[in-house]
């Protein structure tokens, strides 16, 4: 069974560099032993559902890559089925670079989803398309994020070609404000309790 991500990413030029570095044999063996990595499993579904953003790369008609960060509420990117990922394309600066690139050719794209606190990274290849929300109301409704105050201009759909999980090496640990809040909640609770104990002790000792 061919690993679809390796098949896509490891071009002849890439394989030549792997051979020169001595890593080619290991990658070839891993690709042969592993699965095709072209169907999203429960592991990928959960990981995607926990993300609040990802990096999206497309290619222009003139061959230039374009990378942008797409963000939203946690879980705004949805696994529609084992071969399809979708998200609401919220109104932004209306440059339409990613959407324009996706409309040219076969819409080849790559996504990188990061979990910085746990140093995990999921990479996906696929074919990306955008559809005006008015032209696909059922899909747009499926991708809508309740309570999020943003206009959905388009529905974005990525037809999966292959995915890969990266090792944690060189991924820095970073935390969002919400993640820090959760981590610091027990410490804040303990500090509040200690402050209350301190006030009570001062009163007993006549410190006022």
Mean pLDDT computed over 51-67: 96
pLDDT tens sequence across 78-127:
999 999 999 999 988 889 999 999 999 899 999 999 999 999 999 999 99
pLDDT in tens, 118-174: 999 999 999 999 999 999 999 999 999 999 988 889 999 999 999 999 888 899 999
Strand-strand pairing, 108-115 and 152-165: unpaired
Question: Cβ atoms within 10 A of the Cβ of 198, count?
Answer: 11
β-strand partners of 154 = 89, 132
Tokens of 39: 């169907």
pTM for this predicted structure: 0.85
Confidence of residue 208 (pLDDT cuts 50, 70, 90): low
Q: Check whether 206 has a pLDDT greater than 80.
A: no
Contact 50, 117 (CB under 8 A): no
Sheet holding 65-71, edge to edge: 65-71, 53-59, 108-115, 120-132, 152-165, 84-90, 77-81
Name the residue with higher pLDDT: 43 or 183.
Answer: 43
Position 1 confidence tier, pLDDT thresholds 50, 70, 90 = low
pLDDT at residue number 93: 83
Greatest mean pLDDT among 1-10, 34-43, 47-56: 47-56
- For the chain, the average pLDDT equals 92
Question: Domain coordinates of the chain in residue numbers?
Answer: 1-37, 40-173, 175-208
Q: Please tell me the distance from the alpha carbon of residue 108 to that of residue 9, in angstroms, as a whole number.
A: 12
Between CA 112 and CA 67 the distance in angstroms is 10
Instruction: Look at the domain 40-173 and name its fold.
Output: Pnp Oxidase; Chain A (2.30.110)
């Amino acid at each position: 069974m061919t690993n679809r991500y390796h098949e896509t990413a490891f071009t002849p030029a890439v394989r030549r560099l792997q051979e020169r570095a001595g890593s080619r044999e290991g990658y070839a063996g891993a690709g042969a032993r592993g699965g095709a990595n072209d169907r999203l499993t429960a592991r990928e579904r959960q990981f995607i559902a926990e993300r609040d953003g990802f990096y999206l790369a497309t290619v222009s008609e003139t061959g230039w890559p374009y990378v942008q960060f797409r963000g939203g509420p946690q879980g705004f990117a949805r696994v529609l089925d084992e071969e399809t990922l979708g998200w609401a394309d919220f109104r932004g600066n209306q440059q339409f670079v990613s959407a324009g690139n996706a409309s040219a050719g076969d819409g080849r794209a790559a996504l990188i989803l990061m979990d910085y606190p746990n140093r995990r990274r999921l990479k996906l290849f696929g074919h990306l398309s955008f559809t005006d929300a008015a032209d696909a109301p059922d899909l747009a409704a499926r991708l809508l994020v309740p309570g999020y105050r943003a206009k959905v201009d388009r529905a974005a759909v990525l037809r999966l070609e292959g995915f890969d999980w990266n090792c944690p090496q060189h991924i820095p640990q970073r935390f969002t404000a919400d993640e820090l809040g959760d981590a610091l909640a027990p410490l804040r609770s303990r500090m509040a309790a200690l402050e209350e104990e301190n006030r009570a002790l001062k009163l007993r000792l006549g410190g006022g």
